[in-house]
Amino acid sequence: MGTIGVIQFPGVNCEVETARSIRGLGYRAEVVRWNRSEGLLDRYAGFILPGGFSYQDRVRAGVIAAREPIVETLSEAAERGMPILGICNGAQILVEAGLVPGKTNRVEAALAPNLNGVRTGYSCQWVWLRADGSNTFLANTLADGAVIPIPMAHAEGRFVSSDPARFDEFSKRGQIPLRYCEADGTIATEWPSLPNGALQAAAAVSNPAGNVVAMMPHPERAAYLHQVPDWVPVWGSRKRSLAAGDPTGLFEAGPGAKILEAFCLAVEGGVQ
């Protein structure tokens, strides 16, 4: 079983809970500082870029971290087929580095400020995600059409392109593995189900090979059942019943664990 490297850029703040959630699934994870690029491809079998505010999101989110030498190492890892997952700020870094959508190794998309018709700026809420047919590692645990609740928290999470038709192409190629949706799985078209106005309701975008995924919602914040609010259908009612009978059950896997486990299974399976 390979070890997963969780990259800690200056200003990120989710590396500890991300690594803890990976370990809770029975896999190995280590927090890796951004200035350690030597030997990473030999030491680790996959990488996660966690959420936070790398370099205080100066200029725009993720753009400074995307210029760090370690990202060149991640680019090589991507070319080798190693699994890479960027979460929130990590997703912004992958997009700014051109690793996602990744067809030309140039920046082909952006994560723009939220646009929902109600307010702008930072937004923190629970949303529903639907798995759409893709060739990404997410298919390891999420069947096409599966719906899960998950929290999001960002100010610049709107997947866009200067040519919106590019997202039609990404969709046809299976590069939009997760979309914002209603609780019944209907693709979201407006706020609050579509929290940021992303094209194609994209909550995640991958590279063509499917081994690099950039997603805005936070799976590590829903990795355990006790993290799920009581009002969330199915998951919340299950949480209440366990709390009344067996509180230790609150540490069972939550909906976000499905995404993290999918990544871990890809790491365990080796290069795609």
Confidence of residue 81 (pLDDT cuts 50, 70, 90): very high
Annotated catalytic residue: which of 14, 68, 88, 154?
Answer: 88
Look at residue 222 and give its three-state secondary structure. Answer: helix
Domain of residue 19, residue span: 3-269
22, burial (CB in 10 Å: exposed 0-12, middle 13-18, buried 19+): buried
Residue 105, pLDDT above cutoff 70: no
Q: Catalytic annotation on 124?
A: no
Q: Catalytic annotation on 14?
A: no
pLDDT (0 to 100) of residue 232:
94
Per-residue pLDDT tens for 158-192?
Answer: 999 988 899 999 999 999 999 999 999 999 999 99
Contacts for 96 with CB less than 8 Å, ≥ 6 apart: 60, 62, 63, 65, 66, 107
Q: What is the CATH number of the domain that holds 238?
A: 3.40.50.880
Residue 25, pLDDT above cutoff 60: yes
Q: Catalytic annotation on 226?
A: no
> What rounded mean pLDDT belongs to the chain?
93
Number of domains in the chain: 1
